[in-house]
Chain A
Amino acid sequence: MPDVARKILWPALGAGAMLAALSTAPARADEPSAELLARGKYVATAGDCIACHTRPGGQPFAGGLSITTPMGDIISTNITPDPDHGIGKYTLQDFEKSVRHGVRRDGSRLYPAMPYVSYSGMTDDDVTALYTWFMHDVKPVAETPPATSLNFPANLRITMAIWNLVAGESEPETGDAATFDKLRRGKYLAHALEHCGTCHTPRNVMLSEKTDSYLAGASLLGWYAPDITSSKTTGIGDWSEDDLVAYLRTGHVDGLSQAAGPMGEVIEHSSSHLTDEDLHALAAYILQVPAKEDDGEHPARARAGQALDTPDIRSGELTRIDNLNPMDGKGVYDANCASCHGDNGAGTGDHYVPSLFHNAVVGSGHPDNLIMTVLEGVNRTANGVHAYMPGFDGKSDVQRLSNAEIAAVVNYVTATFGNGDHGVTAEQVGAQRVQTPKTP
């Protein structure tokens, strides 16, 4: 993958770039109002800063999470108000420049893993509230995560300046974002705060989001952030506003879909904490995003499949305890999936365990998320419910499945409950397996 970045960015280097020198003024030390702090905290939650700026098991906002990109691994920074290790010396202007324009206090450019292209749409008021909350309420942590070392030429931060020229920024929204009407508020949430497009919009050769394919779906670290446009087949055009609100609040809608992986984290850390009004605004806006394409040749992702009628998928053979032979798809399903999802695929009566038919992950044309779910499992807490499914990768204590077994069971599941056998191969599973986090 580094080759791609090299090819893309090398020609751009010749263009040169200028960084504007901005004057700064020290921040005032007035005691901020409770309203301002609450708003700042809410903006931080809606912007999901914690997702990237906290490593697993680490202190909140102290950075250290490794984010895999086509250019190499980017390690998130400490954004606690510690003066030496974090952003304690940042003025509001410094902060604004980094959040909205991707320029650090020392003048260097941030890597575009930081979604400042999205955050550039934030209102002045929200940036101020966010800054105030970080400085006032976030606990300073005196530790510096390891430095990011990328492949040439992306390792030259000057390259990022050029990238930024091409990527462009949004005009900031103006006025009081709390008073926007529903769709304007929804758009503001989707673009400037939740930055949905960062994952769900495919990127062009310059790794910028393709503006003509907003939210049309893109690959991400082994997962696939699906089409969430209003397409009725590949997208979520058949979801109601209430469906989408329920999904963003709980991560699960009976008979439609459930979140795992990165989207599970978004729901856990961010969207489940939004107000009802904001969730409806966000949902209403997302549901009117134009479909990129609507081929209509297959059923909608979440409408595919049905319960298997009185299946008997047992092998019929009793084997000795030292039998470690790989199982076929049906066998893997019977021994590892059927206990919870049912031999008929219907899940549990209370829907804690979802059905596999009428399930957007199974019905998708992209089996990526089903493969990743089998590998990594589900671990999402939202709205007071801890949804958990064990993973079946090489770290599993429940059962360690081979690439061939996972390919076989994924093909069995999509053929039986979804939109057909996608012919997933062991090699494909192996390629996705390397994307799963390493054992700590």
Chain B
Amino acid sequence: MPSEQDLSADVVIVGSGVAGSSIANELVRAGISVIVLEAGPRVDRQHFVENFRNLENKPSYQGPFPSVPWALHPPNQITPNDYLHTTGPDAEAYQQVYLRMMGGTTWHWAGCAWRYLPSDFELKTRYGQGRDWALKYDDLEPFYYQAEVMMGVCGPDPAREDLGSPRRQPYPMEALPISYAAQQFRKLISEKTPYRVVHEPQARNTRPYDNRPTCEGHNNCMPICPIGAMYNGSYSVYHAEAAGARFVPNAVVYKIERDSANKRVTAVHYYDPDKGSHRVTGKYFVIAAHCIETAKLLLVSADEQSPDGIANSSGHVGRNMMDHTGVQVTFISGDKALWPGRGPLETNVIDNFRDGSWRNERGAYLVHMVDDNQVDLATALAISKGYVGRELEEQIRYLASHTVRLFSHNEGLADPENRLTLSSTHKDMLGIPHPEVYYKLPEYTVKSCEHTRGLFRELIGLMHGTDEQWTPGYFPQDHPAGSTIMGTDPKDSVVDGFCRTHDHENLFIASSSVFSSVGTGNITLTVAALALRVADTLKKELSHA
């Protein structure tokens, strides 16, 4: 471990996920020195693949990733757990999961790489709901493309399938081939409904790309792509390290130090796993530590100068917690067998409800037809029906091939009452409080979910479905956003349109925590695009310095 004096760089980044590592890679290649502090450890794919093979509960996304005690992450989804405490009427709908380790949570995403719609950035102006962002789609478009190239995104030809987000360039890779189940589903939707199913853009190789192989359809993108065909943040970590960026694992940042005027950040302090404290100085600082951990860090760092936490003169740090809280159902199709579970997990989306004039009263949503292997669910169902012996085997085969799983991403809305605070009862081994979130689903989202349930019932009817199993209440989508919300007014927002904190001129935030609205598409590509825009801003400022 170097002495404290050694720990200094032009830019200090907290968090090594897609946001932090991609900023590091951009900066270091422009000749700017970078230190990235990661709370979790350095990791190896092979151990996760082996963990996944050994795991009994295969659909457990967090299962292969048992956390280290100095950087806890939630052990499982939906169910209450010992780390992320949730309260409020819809507490269970905010049981998000994420990973604290080198490369971040994209180790177990499904690769869905949506751009937001232009309207998503102007929700207030267009529909009188929620908030506008302090930037427009066109400001982000070049960075969306840069992020798509960085991650290796495949998608449909816009001339044939326009996803509503204008593009200046085609996708870096051709869209995925359509699985058998998806073909059947597409046919049904196009023939019997006014809706459409589109190719989901995916950060997944449809040809060898960036020294990684083509997707083989192992069907376990979550919890772990076993061959590296899907992008995750570790590739940006490797690229940045190869170019000279320095990554420090097991560095749990707990304090953000400012100058006497409280205008500039001068250092961050971190604990190693033995609670040895280290100080890291720099010219610029970027917090890129995931929506929940970023807000937690700003609040934990409260001191006499900033008693409510860093960058929190507005009081909005930790507020406006959003997600794509949705609805989920599985059922047994009475029509032809679909044989789901061959190919990537999420490739087909009904996108008719991503935008419309009705957004003035209810939230938008998109629907995934999830193409995952259903043998677990089919087996449980067949046993519950009392089958044994050969009949059991036949039933499992029948049910597994006829199961349909649908879930939705429904648009959340920024509500200051939905708030992350520090737990007063739970602390980790370093003495840092656990995060706690109060969550009440906004009426806007409730109405959206009701509409989705109606659509699901329509589809179940069309497919002569039986054995419906609705996930009780609402379904968390692990797309938390809003905890350091973006806006033009420093009185009711935390960062400006460039993700710079209103309060501290050299402190930036790169995370879904800056989202002013949450739209419907998965958040990662927008996180990456915002991060690359932060890198662009820093490059310009440091080259003029």
Contacts and interface: CB of A to CB of B under 8 A. Distances in A.
Contacts of A25: none
Contact of B50 (A324, A327, A386, A397): A327
- What are the nearest 8 A-B pairs in CB distance? A322-B41, A398-B228, A335-B46, A388-B208, A339-B226, A335-B49, A335-B50, A314-B53
Interface stretch (B61-69, B385-393, B430-438): B61-69
Contacts of A332: 46
Interface string B187-230: 00000000000000000000110111110101000000011100
A321 B46 contact: no
Nearest to B40: A321
A324 B50 CA distance: 12
Interface string A398-440: 1110000000000000000000000000000000000000010
A318 B223 CA distance: 14
A324 B235 contact: no
Contact of A334 (B40, B53, B227, B234): B53
Q: Classify the secondary structure of B's interface with A.
A: loop
B451 to A, nearest CB: 40
A310 interface: no
Contacts of B42: 322, 324
Given A388-B208, A397-B228, A397-B238, A324 B51 contact: no
A320 B50 contact: no
Contact of A339 (B49, B63, B101): B49
B242 A390 contact: no
Contacts of A353: 216
A439 B243 CA distance: 11
A319 B66 contact: yes
B45 interface: yes
Residue among A316, A323, A340 facing the most chain B CB atoms (10 A cut-off): A323
A334 B50 contact: yes
Nearest to A391: B211
Interface string A305-331: 000000000111111111110010001
Given A335-B49, A388-B208, A398-B212, A321 B66 contact: yes
A397 B211 contact: yes
A348 interface: yes
A336 interface: yes
Contact of A397 (B40, B48, B54, B210): B210
Nearest to A343: B53
A238 B49 CA distance: 39
Interface residues of A, number: 34
Interface in B245-274: 250
A327 B46 CA distance: 9
A423 to B, nearest CB: 23
B227 A340 contact: yes
A388 B54 CA distance: 28
A38 interface: no
A23 to B, nearest CB: 52
Contacts of B207: 386
A397 B234 contact: yes
Interface in B29-85: 40-51, 53-55, 63-68
Residue among A315, A332, A339 facing the most chain B CB atoms (10 A cut-off): A339
A262 B214 CA distance: 22
A35 to B, nearest CB: 36
Given A314-B50, A340-B216, A398-B227, 5 more contacts: A324-B42, A331-B50, A334-B50, A335-B49, A388-B214
Nearest to A336: B46
Contact of B67 (A316, A321, A340, A397): A321
13 contacts: A318-B51, A318-B63, A321-B48, A321-B101, A322-B250, A323-B44, A334-B49, A339-B226, A340-B227, A388-B214, A389-B213, A398-B211, A399-B45
A208 interface: no
A343 to B, nearest CB: 9
A386 B208 contact: yes
A336 B55 CA distance: 17
A324 B228 contact: no
Contacts of A314: 50, 53-54
B213 A390 contact: yes
B213 A399 contact: no
Contacts of A400: 44
A284 B466 CA distance: 63
A108 interface: no
Contacts of A379: 208
B94 to A, nearest CB: 24
Contacts of A319: 47, 50-51, 66
Residue among B47, B67, B238 facing the most chain A CB atoms (10 A cut-off): B47
